[in-house]
Amino acid sequence: MAKKLYVGGLAWATTNDSLKQAFAQYGEVEDVQVITDKMTGKSRGFGFVTMVDDGAAEQAIQTLNGAELDGRNITVNEARPKSDRPMAPRGGSRGGFGGGYDRGGDRRDQRRSY
């Protein structure tokens, strides 16, 4: 059964081909995907590798986790399914500007008259 691996800390110059070559040393690679930004097309610094054999995938994790690829030390571990990831905080996960006060309702009763 195929095993999907998460690869983080990728150099901006890392391509699908160079990532595949790094993992192909340990067994047959079924799929490689360096995640890119939709607007700029540049790498987001992480990707996924799907390996055909579970044993080869485990060997790749043990050997490549912390190893150097294209000048950067990469992180390699088993990818978690989307449902297993922690939930985003309420209101979105992108940060930004939040808080403030309630702008709704009638505020006439809160106005001061002098």
**In the structure, what pLDDT confidence band is assigned to residue 99 with cuts at 50, 70 and 90?**
low
> What is the reported pLDDT for 65?
96
Residue type, 98: G
Judge whether residue 89 has pLDDT over 80: no
Q: Which of 13, 96, 8 is nearest to 46 (CA)?
A: 8
Decide: 35 and 8 in contact? Cβ < 8 Å: no
What digits encode the pLDDT tens for the residues 4-60? 999 999 999 999 999 999 999 999 999 999 999 999 999 999 999 999 999 999 999
The angle subtended at Cα 45 by Cα 33 and Cα 29, nearest 5°, is 30
Superfamily of domain 3-80 in the CATH hierarchy: RRM (RNA recognition motif) domain (3.30.70.330)
- List the chain domain ranges: 3-80
Percent of the chain at pLDDT exceeding 70:
73
Determine the Cα–Cα distance for residues 88 and 83; give it in Å rounded to an integer: 12
